[in-house]
Structures are given as C-alpha cells and as structure tokens.
Amino acid sequence: MNLVSIRIITDNVSKLMEFYEQITQLKGIRFTEDFAELQTANATLAIGSTRTLQFFGGSEVVKAAENRTAIIEFITNDVDRIYQEQSAFLDAYLVQEPTTMPWGNRSLLFRDPDGNLVNFFTPISAGAIEKFEGKI
C-alpha cells in the first residue's frame, strides 16, 4: 500500500489552488472548476469543491475549512530560503517562523486560506537527513 493523495474540501478551489501554487512554486492541474491537483514526486494534494461531496454521501460527510487535526507537510531542501522569499506573502498565514525541531527538522508552520495547517520542513540532523534521503 502507498499513500498517493490527500484531498482538501473547500468552498473555493481556485483560491486554494492559487495559494498552494504560490507557496510551492508548482503549477497545479485544474480538471474542472470543482477539482484540481498539485502533483509532487511523492504524492498529490487534491483540492475538491464542496459540490463534489454529492459523490461521497452528501454535504454532511466533510465540512470545508473546519480541519484542526491534520498538518499538510512538504519537504524542501531549504526552508529558510523559502521563508525569506515568501515571507511577505505568508505573513497573514504565519504560525511559526523557521524553527529547529527536536526530531531534527527545520520547520516553517502556517495556515492556508481555509485554516489548514501547513508545514514546510528541511531535515538538518544526521538522522533526519538519512530518514528522508531521496525525498527532496
């Protein structure tokens, strides 16, 4: 088994996709006005409209912009550089400037426009570098 995708449900696919394109500097794929994807080498961040919930049992299955339990994580080779380049854009969303974590990652924490927590991190300790070898 292999995790291939995380999907965010939102009321505004376009706004959320533009945000993720800005912070990752990747180009998303818009399949319809209700569904888009941001594809990376290891996984895909899918963004679906609340209108897509009709295919999954109705609007009560998921509530947009109410997540407070998951963190969407992106590995990068230089989180400090990204913060310097994106700090003006991220200012309104910032939770924590780049900080070294006890488990060996340098982490930048912010929220997307729907309030989902996002972590950009760079492995810096020997153990973390070894753990994520080949993932950047």
Q: What is the pLDDT of residue 64?
A: 80
Give 7 or 56, the one with higher predicted confidence: 7
Whether the per-residue pLDDT at 34 is higher than 80: the answer is yes
Domains of the chain, earliest start first:
1-64 (3.30.720.120), 67-136 (3.10.180.10)
Please give the helix or strand (H or E) that residue 95 lies within, else none: strand 94-100
pLDDT band at 14 (very low <50, low <70, confident <90, very high): very high
> Which two three-digit tokens encode residue 30?
């818009």
Q: What is the pLDDT of residue 72?
A: 96
Per residue in 78-112, pLDDT (tens digit) is 999 999 999 999 999 999 999 999 999 999 999 99
> Which two three-digit tokens encode residue 21?
């394109």
pTM: 0.91
